[in-house]
Amino acid sequence: MSEIRFPLPDVGEGLTEAEIVQWRVAPGDRIALDQVFVEIETAKSLVELPSAFEGVVSELLVDEGRTVDVGTPILVIQTDGGSADAAAPSSSAAVPPADTPATAEAAAGATVASHAAAPSEGGGAVLVGHGSSGPAATRRKRHPSPGGAHENLATVPAPTATPPAAPVPRPQAGAPAGAAAAPAAPTAPRPDSGVPVIAKPPIRKLAKDLGVDLSRVAPTGPIGDITRDDVIRSASQVSVFRNIQTPEWPTDREDRIPVKGVRKAIANAMVQSAYSAPHVSVFVDVDATRTMEYVKRLKASPDYAGVRVSPLLIMAKAMIWAVRRNPSVNAQWTDEEIIVKHYVNLGVAAATPRGLIVPNVKEAQAMTMVELATALEQLTLTAREGKTQPAEMQGGTITITNIGVFGMDTGTPILNPGEVAIVALGTIKQKPWVVDGEVRPRFVTTVGASFDHRVVDGDVASRFLADVASIIEEPALLLE
């Protein structure tokens, strides 16, 4: 037998340390190839590390809750044989940056459980704890077909050797003849009506987090499936982040929360952005009535069955359209030059239980409306589950923050470091609005934006935000 001291690897995001959050193994346990053995928290995300070795765990070298530097030994494994030197990982074998040409497509296809590909199809130890799981993970195809393509989400190879059973396609209401609908999640009988529960795994996860009994939820989905809105309506909470119950005062007079991980990264990034980039903000009130009507029509379309459609989707498309007309807002400032980017990696500020993160949708300008809706939904679900990978937060070019979901009318957002524009979408609600000389109730919102005044002048900022507002007022402009 040989002994391997497993070092904390470089997870390919330019960080130098990580916190040991939870050990999944204990001394004496046998560990298999690709088995997740520890969960670590970096300054950006939670990462699960699978083992690149088989053997018996002899010692855990770092306690949970401790932060250690990259390269520090964290685990000792007794292998059954072979050369430890040949297979031992090197903390310097980092994943290539996500924004290099060779890896841009891989970064765009980053999945929840993996953001580094194996060096070969045949196997071999790889870092970032992603093991040699055979064929690389695949993404959904970018070519939607009516009624079913939206379900073709990214898949991740299972850590075991047994492949998952293929789901049986179900016919979908409203879909063209011959179109295979998305597979439904495993169902459980409803005790009250005998009707099986149809819900996707993310919806089941949300229901579990909110304490919702799916057997008592009335489904409104196109095939009798339970949607996210159904779960939220039935929950005792408005959302994961807004508790309607008022807790008692704690017995402790103070809480002391260590500044580390995501919170430390947020603080450093916001201070750097606020005090290095001269911010300027502009605002505009917008009649969003036609946007709300358009969203309603999309929800009723078979092409969008099972896909979450919201005003955020129209806002995202509006920003992409406005960037084409005002490319300097999609840029980066350096001391030597301004880099204008002719692609859009659309960042979406996401409030998670671990803090604010900004994952981005890669190459959003090349997506159809259905593809963008699916990408935004997957991004949001992954962020709420705390499984956003570092590659999904790198390379952003412009950001949107949807403060309207918290009931806010507007705000002055701080730029995401490395970008020169960020747009805030406020709440959309009915207000009195003058139309053709008459006061009528209309759905109105306020759109605000902040810019780096070193790059974006006032006229460009105003034209950009006016273009965004014009799409919110009349989504048909997107058909031009």
pLDDT of residue 127: 45
Nearest-CA neighbor of 397 among 342, 452, 464? Answer: 342
- Which of residues 50 and 139 earns the better pLDDT score? 50
Whether residue 284 sits in one domain with residue 221: no
Confidence at 480, pLDDT banded by 50, 70, 90: low
| Residue 259 placed within a domain | no
| Residue 445 placed within a domain | yes
Whether residue 30 sits in one domain with residue 89: yes
Whether residue 66 sits in one domain with residue 16: yes
Q: Of 50-54, 178-182, 265-269, which gets the smallest average pLDDT?
A: 178-182
pLDDT of residue 297: 92
| Residue 150 placed within a domain | no
In the three-class reduction of DSSP (H, G, I as helix; E, B as strand; rest coil), residue 329 is classed as: helix
Whether residue 303 sits in one domain with residue 189: no
Whether residue 372 sits in one domain with residue 228: no
Whether residue 458 sits in one domain with residue 382: yes
Provide mean pLDDT across the span 401-410: 89
Residue 372 belongs to what H/E stretch? helix 369-384
- Does the structure show a pLDDT above 90 at 16? no
| DSSP string for residues in 67-100 | EEETT-EEEEEEESSS-HHHH---TT-PPPPTTS
| Residue 425 placed within a domain | yes
pLDDT of residue 79: 83
Count the helix, strand and coil residues of the chain and give each as a percent rounded to the nearest 5.
30, 20, 50
Helices of type H across 277-332: 289-300, 311-325
Whether residue 403 sits in one domain with residue 294: yes
| Residue 148 placed within a domain | no
| Residue 260 placed within a domain | no
Per the residue annotation, which of 115, 143, 342, 453 is the catalytic one? Answer: 453
Count: domains in the chain: 3
Confidence at 286, pLDDT banded by 50, 70, 90: very high
pLDDT of residue 375: 93
pLDDT of residue 110: 38
Domain boundary residue, one of 60, 91, 108: 108
Q: How far is CA 199 from the centre of its chain?
A: 20
* Residue 49 CB coordination number (10 Å): 24
Whether residue 463 sits in one domain with residue 348: yes
| Residue 319 placed within a domain | yes
| Residue 91 placed within a domain | yes
Domain boundary residue, one of 242, 260, 291: 242
pLDDT of residue 99: 43
Whether residue 439 sits in one domain with residue 308: yes
Average pLDDT, the chain: 76
Q: Of 107-111, 158-162, 324-328, which gets the smallest average pLDDT?
A: 107-111
- Which of residues 47 and 332 earns the better pLDDT score? 332
- Does the structure show a pLDDT above 50 at 444? yes
Q: What is the CATH number of the domain that holds 300?
A: 3.30.559.10
pLDDT of residue 270: 85
* Residue 216 CB coordination number (10 Å): 12
Provide mean pLDDT across the span 220-248: 68
Whether residue 234 sits in one domain with residue 93: no
- Residues in the chain, total: 480
Q: Tell me if 99 sits within 8 A of 14, measured CB to CB.
A: no
* Residue 241 CB coordination number (10 Å): 12
Q: Is the dihedral of CA 52, 55, 58, 63 positive or negative?
A: positive
For 75-128, the pLDDT digits (tens) are 888 887 544 444 444 444 444 444 444 433 433 333 333 333 333 343 433 444
Q: How many CA atoms lie within 13 A of 336 on its CB side?
A: 0
pLDDT of residue 168: 44
279 in catalytic set: no
In the three-class reduction of DSSP (H, G, I as helix; E, B as strand; rest coil), residue 335 is classed as: coil
Domain range for 195 is 182-242
- Does the structure show a pLDDT above 90 at 257? no
* Residues above pLDDT 90, as percent of the chain: 30
* Tokens 């072979």 found at: 82
**In the structure encoding, which two tokens stand for residue 228, read together?**
């996210």
Count Cβ neighbours within 10 Å for each residue of 274-302 and write b for 16 or more, e otherwise: eeebeeebbebebbbbbbbebbeebbeeb
* Residue 5 CB coordination number (10 Å): 15
Residue 126 makes CB contacts below 8 A (sequence gap 6+) with 52, 89, 116, 117, 118, 119, 132
CA distance 127 to 118: 9
Q: What is the CATH number of the domain that holds 65?
A: 2.40.50.100
For 45-86, the pLDDT digits (tens) are 777 888 888 888 888 988 888 888 888 889 888 887 544 444
Domain boundary residue, one of 93, 108, 123: 108
Whether residue 100 sits in one domain with residue 188: no
Whether residue 345 sits in one domain with residue 217: no
